[in-house]
Amino acid sequence: MFTVVDNIIRTEDIEFDAKPLGGVGNIFFNCMKRNAAKTAQRDACTGKSDSFESLLERAVRTAIVLKQRGVGKGDIVTGCSNNHLDACVPIIAATFLGAIPCSLDPLLSFFEKSQLLQQVKPKVVFTIKDCLGDVTAALKNAELESEVVVFGTASYDQYIQPRQQDEEDFKPIIVDDPKDTAVIIFSSGTSGFPKGICLNHYYFIFHSPLIPRAKNSDLDTERMKLELSKREGSSFLNYGSLYWSSGMMGLFLSAVTGLCRLLCNNFNAKEFWYLIEKYKVIGVFLTPFQVTELVKHGKPPGVDTSWLLRLSTGGAALSKKYIYALQELIPETDIVPTYAQTEVGILAAFQIHNKAHREYYKKNPDTVGLPVRGVTYKVVDPETEAVLGPNEPGELRVKSKTIMNGYYNRDFSNRYDKDKWFRTGDMVKYDENCYFYVVDRLKEMLKYRGWHIPPAILELELSHHPAVKQAVVIGKPHEEDGDHPMAVVVLEDDAGDVTAKDIEKYVEERVDERQRLRGGVRFVTCIPMTPSGKIKRRELKRMVLEGRI
């Protein structure tokens, strides 16, 4: 369902009027009422569960109190929590009011929490006890007077107490324009520091079953019947907190489909298999690092994985050998690679109900799939701006109705070229059949085990070392972890006998564990620069990988 003319790949446009749906909050409300008797979520650690009826009740009560405290359309409500049964309550409640929810991950550093809170300036922050100190200090540091509510304490209990008549009469606001911002998801941008990505209502609707799908004579109807038959009493496993776009999208899709979210905070390769069997997990999204852990530990004998219909992975490159090994462990499961970007949504994926495509991927696991409906593509030489053809690596640029509204309170004009194509910052290529392959990232951001690591944060710490004159952090590719941060350093003339280990230790003492310089430190006499004074990061990385540094 795509055509290629002058190396521009055009897919079937989706004509769908999202306005009558009334926005994400109205969809949440109506779908949760429709699925009231079904299990909405279950905590894998405690075994406790929650119906959609109970979840809706707490969300409505929370929305009523938020409204009483002056929260309304366009205001920011922030969560900072791991996965538990109440974590999503204020997020859903905010959408009922037309407020904009966003979430922090508890594992973010204090510096990162401070930066993000300063950006969005929330009216209310819902957090867990373990993060209260960080959140309170970060708000004080940003000179914000946001209300802080702690899950599991009296401050949260007052939000979910019965509201009598108010509760029975409650209705969510109706959003007139689906292009209004619905949610903010934080991500790292090309500058290295986190940005708030403003996603609109249409973005979520587009990626849900609410959008009619095209009829296709090649659909694997038997596979579809199997999937439908296994939905009753099943769940999908959710490791990511609501900080991640996958976590927020999973919450929305759960309400729309009536599927139960199985909440788990810590990935454990051995425990994974038993969760699949015990809770009838039909779908899960794993990072490449988690996939490699599964493969290394293997599948315990006798574990029934017949429920697992789909295992999706994305966010970083995954070695062929691990994909082949995973296919051997779970041969009846569709292993679905995805290429997505929070600012746009899914850009390339497999039509997994199609037998031919499924077989193609098993033989070519390094491809991330075919173009998706509603997106137009071109691959461009970033130096000459020439539009490239098949098998020519270049930057992917796209047009789509799902592209973000922008970065919250940040300029985003540089994300578009002169012809209004969105610059993804990713190097890709496609073959003669339009199967896409991710080659590299133009963006400076690194990814370690699925976590974004902004080089700017590490470079800032390095700049404080008295022996460091200049420092650049690049990603050293690692087969299992993704990127290992490596520092390329120019020393001061009077640096003395400082060693690479000294620099590594200095950084290690000042950053989170995942941000350590696992790729090491290399000393150089100068850093390659452009005539305008910008660092040539790609050239620097190439010099390192080729052994010239």
Which helix (H) or strand (E) segment holds residue 297: the answer is helix 288-297
Three-state DSSP at 546 gives: coil
Confidence band, pLDDT 50/70/90 cuts, at residue 191 = very low
Which helix (H) or strand (E) segment holds residue 376: the answer is strand 375-380
What are the pLDDT digits (tens) for 461-474? 998 899 999 999 99
How far apart CA 507 and CA 465 sit, in angstroms, is 9
Backbone angles phi, psi at 363, to 5 degrees: -95, -20
Backbone angles phi, psi at 113, to 5 degrees: -60, -45
How far apart CA 323 and CA 478 sit, in angstroms, is 16
Q: CA of 315: how far to CAs of 104, 109, 287, 479, in Å?
A: 19, 21, 7, 14
For residue 189, the model assigns a pLDDT of: 42
The share of the chain scoring above pLDDT 90, in percent, equals: 64
Which helix (H) or strand (E) segment holds residue 140: the answer is helix 132-141
User: Does the pLDDT value for residue 354 go beyond 90?
Assistant: no
Both structure tokens of 463: 């700049």
User: Does the pLDDT value for residue 544 go beyond 70?
Assistant: yes
Taking residue 104's Cβ as centre, other Cβ atoms within 10 Å add up to 27
Mean pLDDT of all residues in 36-54: 96
What are the pLDDT digits (tens) for 287-309? 888 898 899 899 999 999 999 99
DSSP-assigned beta bridge partners for residue 411: none
Are 163 and 64 contacting, i.e. CB atoms less than 8 angstroms apart?
yes
What are the pLDDT digits (tens) for 373-432? 899 999 999 888 999 999 999 999 999 999 999 999 988 999 999 999 999 988 899 999
pTM: 0.85
Which helix (H) or strand (E) segment holds residue 286: the answer is strand 281-286
User: Does the pLDDT value for residue 353 go beyond 60?
Assistant: no
Mean pLDDT of all residues in 128-155: 96
Q: Which of 87, 94, 92 is nearest to 69 (CA)?
A: 94
Average pLDDT, the chain: 90
Sorted by where each starts, the structural domains of the chain and their CATH numbers stand as 19-211+231-308 (3.40.50.12780), 448-545 (3.30.300.30)
Are 342 and 187 contacting, i.e. CB atoms less than 8 angstroms apart?
yes
